[in-house]
Structure 1
Amino acid sequence: MDELVGELIDTVAWVLIVDGRILCARPSGKEIFYIPGGKREAGESDEQTLVREIAEELTVALVTETVEPVGVYEAVDGTARVRMSCYRAEYRGQLTASSEIAEIAWFGYADRPHVPPVDQLLFDELHTAGALH
């Protein structure tokens, strides 16, 4: 990665694909969509962060015994380097945008320009694998 880039933003994300489309969320006050997830709090594992963030953002409970890694992606976004560790998991409950999420949407590969650079890497890989249409 470019040594001139500033801080590292280390995040985890939940990859949920249904019928060739991936779940994305747009936080309140932002124009861009993201793969749901977020930053860990002190002492949290990736799994703990994922479970907490998804409950906060989408009001569902991830089934912890089904959490499995998808991959780790890194990209420069502005002046920061973003690392996104992605996981799949089953869930319980009804997907609903919380107060911090303005909108949820199901994106296909054509929607790639509407997500940040690190998310675009995931889109590319999923599309190449035939999982994202």
Structure 2
Amino acid sequence: MAQKQEEDDKVRLDKWLWAARFYKTRALAKAAIESGKVHCRGERCKPGKEPRMGDEFVLRTGFDERTVVVKALSVVRRGAPEAQALYEETEQSIARREQAAALRKAGALGVSTDGRPTKKQRRQLHQLHDSAG
């Protein structure tokens, strides 16, 4: 039992992110870390970094950026309720994500158009594409 506890104390960051269900596979977690989407204390991390309880990580996935604090360590991927017990998202992070989602839903960040192009506009677009290609 002591060896199992010792193994849980030493866990790679990519494995922990996978076990906490931030990424579907360890390969995706490793790729995200290597591409600079995971930061600890404002610095990029390496996949082999050993997270400790109380560490704060900033994770960027898609449009969202989460700030999470490590509450527990695990090398085993389990159900979502158990995975959510491994970390705690900060209040500021939750507020930022909800605000960004509301802006996206309102269309403030996207391209606004007047709807579908008319037949004349479509012909002009096709002519433009044909002349460029």
TM-score (structure 1 length as normaliser): 0.29
Higher strand fraction (1 or 2): 1
TM-score (structure 2 length as normaliser): 0.29
Larger Cα-atom Rg: 2
